[in-house]
Amino acid sequence: KAGVTQTPRYLIKTRGQQVTLSCSPISGHRSVSWYQQTPGQGLQFLFEYFSETQRNKGNFPGRFSGRQFSNSRSEMNVSTLELGDSALYLCASRRTGNNDYEQYFGPGTRLTVT
Amino acid sequence: AQSVTQLDSHVSVSEGTPVLLRCNYSSSYSPSLFWYVQHPNKGLQLLLKYTSAATLVKGINGFEAEFKKSETSFHLTKPSAHMSDAAEYFCVGGTGANNLFFGTGTRLTVIP
């Protein structure tokens, strides 16, 4: 069974631009979560989507948004990029949503903002 | 509030010696607990999980962890470290309304 895939793997953008990252979950998994990982802040939860609805949201500004499609694939968008948005963005999927916490992570997208 | 605390930000061991990575949890409910490993520039890989069955949980690559309710701990151990174990390890808890909480990570260095 294929794992979680994320595209692109690496991305370089300039301040003020916007970016869209994509995540394809494991087949049959309906929940997709996004995380930002930086050396200074560690792993921080962005949001979770389940059945095309955002169910949980972390403490990030509105520049960070996401959506989920009917096939459970998810996209994350960051608008008006700032230098501090440089990070590894990780996507994770899990089978159901209800009290099933076992997540499977993708390899991440490394975003560099210059 | 629910949380996990990884007691060491960095652990260094010699190859062939035991590994102990410490994690304490705080939860009003019986949590599900996980250990993940992250190698450089990679995603997180699930090592093992505790979901209120056996308190001693065996995972991949020779790792195991014991859930101790009296100590609110879920420490990760391995009898003999390999060079390939050098990585970042995360303790993760899940409880209640689909809430997951991550520890801050422990970087394991293995000295040849």
DSSP result, chain A: ----EEE-SEEEE-TT--EEEEEEPPTT--EEEEEEEETTTEEEEEEEEETTEEEEE-S--TTEEEEE-TTS-EEEEE-S--GGG-EEEEEEEES-SSS----EE---EEEEE-
pLDDT tens across B59-107, in order? 999 999 999 988 999 999 999 999 999 999 999 987 655 577 889 999 9
d(CA B51, CA B40): 28
Paired sense of beta strands A10-13 and A109-113, if any: parallel
B27 pLDDT higher than 90: no
**CA dist., res. B3 & res. A48, Å (int):** 18
- Judged by a CB distance cut-off of 8 A, whether residue B82 touches chain A is no
Residues B5, B9, B14, B20: what is their CA dihedral angle, to the nearest 10 degrees? 0
Cβ contact B46–A92 (<8 Å): no
CB contact under 8 A, B41 and A88: yes
Predicted confidence (pLDDT) at residue A73 exceeds the cutoff of 90: yes
Residue type, position A78, single letter: V
40-59 in chain B: CB under 8 A from chain A = 41-46, 49
B35 touches chain A (CB under 8 A): no
Q: Is B88 left (phi over 0), alpha (psi -120 to 50) or beta?
A: beta
Of the candidates B32, B43, B104, the beta carbon closest to that of A105 is on B43
Find the residue in B nearest to A50 (Cα): B98
Residue linked to tokens 């390939």:
B84
Question: What confidence tens digit (pLDDT) does each residue in A79-113 have?
Answer: 999 999 999 999 999 887 566 778 899 999 999 99
Q: What value does the mean pLDDT of chain B take? A: 90
Question: Are B45 and A43 in contact (CB < 8 Å)?
Answer: no
